[in-house]
Amino acid sequence: MQQPKHYCFIFALLFILTIQIFGQNSKNIYTHEIPQISNGAAIFDLVSKHPERFLFNQSTPSPESGQSPLAPGMYTSFDCITFNGNASNTGYYQIPPDPMGAAGPGHLVLVVNSSIEWYTKDGTLQNSQSLKSFFTSLEPQTGTFDPKVLYDQYEDRFVVVTLEKQDNGANDPANISKIFLAVSDDSDPNGTWYFQAIDAKTIVSSNDHWADYPGFAVDAQAVYVTANLFTFGSNSYGGSRLWITAKGAGNGGFYDGGTASTTVHDPASAVGESSTTMQPAHMFGAAQDNVGTFLVRYSGYSDGTNEFLSIIRVDNPLGSISFSHQFVNVGDIEDTNGGMPDAPQQGTSYLIDTGDRRAYHAVWRNNNLYTVSTTLPASGADAGEATAYWWQVNTATLSSLTLADQGYIGGEDIASGTYTFYPTIAVDGNNNIAIGFAASGSSIYPGAYYTGRMNSDAAGTMQPASALREGVDYYYRAFGGSRNRWGDYSAISVSPDDDQTFWVFNEYALSRGTVLSSYPDEDGRWGTAFGSFSMQSGTVPEPSNLQITDSTEAITLTWNDNAKNSQKSVYNKNALASGSDRPQET
């Protein structure tokens, strides 16, 4: 049963909307859930109310270390920022991490609440700092939250978004809501970055609102940011908005370090539909007929029998913009009568928050739109369990979108009774799909997993899941609240250099520790990791340039992996003799 939501305004569960669908003359009744405030934003409500819950440290926390064995089918992986390491950057402990990462040709960039790091693909850390420090030129007044990063393959640059909020009460002139954007000047994040701030404070029905939970995408022309709106002070839901920022590359705009040109829109109202979370699709290639992107929505839309995706098309985004809407019938895939159940975990009665029904990520490529959410199956092996779900929608005929494929991402191949949640999706140049997600169950700890399918696989199927990182302990860290937060999302992207290697990034449960005096019963710690794999082959390709060096104390192996990154493992001879050694990857 879903635990009560803490520090969030409790909204009415359902409301009724009337729509006309697929050109039918009859009216059908559809219901959907109103969005909740994101976990990250709920935590930032605590900054002003209960600053001790962030424990601005008198001493510097120490980051975690250690490697986990590579999962089958994974080329390489390495651990990244942790609960303690993030506190070293920001000065306070923070939940949830909101893990998001992106792959460029030679580098990987990650963001969490509230740090940014980047690495070379062999795992060499090149930068780690707080997002407040990273965006210092924009003079943030508070901590930032809900960060995301993507790689713009059109312009070969990394792009970052994060939000800022200062809540002084309803309609206070000092209230702040901002969207911060940053773009690198090329594919190397170590060079120059350009920064822009967008005022996101929005008046709805005479009340000012702040922006929460950004959707983030690019096409060839623009950067797209969506957000849900909530009133300052009372956190009442006020709809959703879309901000479109022209890249301006070559004409002195944002991508040239100049002033950003940004417009704001209310797509749901423009098409006569009720508001809910919108995820803009990250576009690959040229879309037909001046399409900018697609805004994907799913929140349990149902007519009492079948569920529906809601898709808003954005045309001519930098000119005379227009919006059009279609519902896509996906059949009876879940029980929408209740909220999403929290996930059990091994070793404790504390449950893991699995989020809610919303589109978590969307990608468009080769006339197909892909998206993911979390569902509650009514029957089958995953009945009654939060279960990640994926859809593929054919967009070749823009006036008549059709469901091409869909399916559950069940956890039964990981362990019986496993819940799967916070999914993310990517597609390579051969239309193979890869998905990252979180998983937890009564016999496993919360961990980071991935799966995928070849474009030739049977319809509706995914290959067995593999672990990016299995959880190593149970997790409980609520800062005195009732929600044991996880997510709010995860990340996967396809490497632009070969368009077939996927890089997945997510969180997992570390060993327990770092007990805070204010919360003596809470000792959960999150860690994060990057890992790479490909759907092109069922087996890991043989390494190249393998060299073995034998010394008195150790055996050293060096090689180039499939992504052409140099790898190294060192085996201690004395430990090998005792059977206790494992490779130390560097």
Answer yes or no: do 205 and 243 share one domain.
yes
Judged against a pLDDT cut of 60, whether residue 480 lies above it is answered with: yes
- Predicted confidence at residue 35, as pLDDT, reads 82
In terms of pLDDT, which residue wins out, 91 or 39? Answer: 91
Mean pLDDT to the nearest integer, 217-229: 99
Split at pLDDT 50, 70, 90, the class of 175 is very high
Asked if the model's pLDDT at residue 442 lies above 60, the reply is yes
> Are 164 and 183 contained in the same domain?
yes
Same domain membership, residue 301 and residue 263: yes
Over range 447-464, report the average pLDDT: 96
Confidence of residue 558 (pLDDT cuts 50, 70, 90): confident
Q: List 295's β-bridge partners, or say none.
A: 280, 312
Mean pLDDT of all residues in 158-186: 99
Tell me the per-residue pLDDT of 353-363, one tens digit each, with 9 for 90 and over.
999 999 999 99
> Who wins on pLDDT, 580 or 355?
355
Say yes or no: 423 and 550 in one domain: no
Give me the pLDDT at residue 419, please. Answer: 99
pLDDT at 40: 57
pLDDT band at 573 (very low <50, low <70, confident <90, very high): low
What pLDDT, on the 0 to 100 scale, is given for residue 24?
A: 31
Q: Does 539 score more than 80 pLDDT?
A: no
* Residue 423 counted as domain residue: yes
Based on the fold, state whether residues 222 and 119 are members of the same structural domain. yes
Print the domain residue range for 95: 14-541
Tell me: pLDDT of 205 over 80.
yes
pLDDT digits (tens, 9 = 90+) for 462-474: 999 999 999 999 9
Same domain, 485 and 561: no
Between 275 and 4, where is the model more confident? Answer: 275
Please determine, for residue 402, whether its predicted confidence score (pLDDT) is greater than 50: yes
Q: Is the peptide bond before 114 cis (omega within 30 degrees of 0)?
A: yes
130: in domain: yes
| Co-location of 324 and 352 in the same domain | yes
Structure tokens at 494: 């396809």
Do 35 and 277 touch, CB atoms closer than 8 A? yes
The answer to whether position 1 is within a domain reads: no
Hunting for tokens 């085996």 — which residue is that?
571
Same domain, 190 and 295: yes
Number of domains the chain is built from? 2
Residue 162 has pLDDT above 50, yes or no: yes
Q: What share of the chain is helix, strand, coil (3-state, %, to 5)?
A: 5, 45, 50
**Residue 289 belongs to domain with CATH number:** 2.120.10
Q: Is the pLDDT of residue 22 over 60?
A: no
Nearest of 390, 383, 276, 274 to residue 330 by alpha carbon: 390
User: With bands split at pLDDT 50, 70 and 90, how would you rate the model's confidence at 73?
Assistant: confident
Q: 239 versus 61: which is more confidently predicted? A: 239
The whole-number pLDDT of residue 574 equals: 52
Same domain, 501 and 391: yes
Verify that 526 and 479 share a domain, yes or no: yes
pLDDT confidence of residue 30: 57
Portion of the chain with pLDDT greater than 70, in percent:
83
Residue 390 clears pLDDT 50, i.e. is over it: yes
Q: Is residue 114 part of a domain?
A: yes
| More reliable by pLDDT, 566 or 482 | 482
Q: Are residues 575 and 451 in the same domain?
A: no
Residues 406, 506, single domain; the answer is yes
List phi, psi (to 5°) of 85: -65, -40
Would residue 8 count as lying in a domain?
no
Omega before 488 within 30 of 0, i.e. cis: yes
pLDDT of residue 565: 56
Q: In 10 A of CB 1, how many CB atoms? A: 8
In a domain, 2, yes or no: no
Query: Do the domain assignments include residue 421?
Result: yes
Which of 181, 190, 107, 171 has its CA nearest to residue 144? 181
Mean of all residue pLDDT scores within the chain: 87
Does some domain include residue 3? no
Question: What is 351-364 written as a DSSP string?
Answer: EEP---SS--EEEE
pLDDT on residue 586:
36
pTM of the predicted protein model: 0.85
Structure confidence by residue, pLDDT tens digits, 278-293: 999 999 999 999 999 9
Q: Give how far Cα 232 sits from Cα of 242, 395, 418, 504, 543, Å.
A: 19, 39, 38, 35, 55
Q: Are 419 and 411 in contact (CB under 8 A)?
A: yes
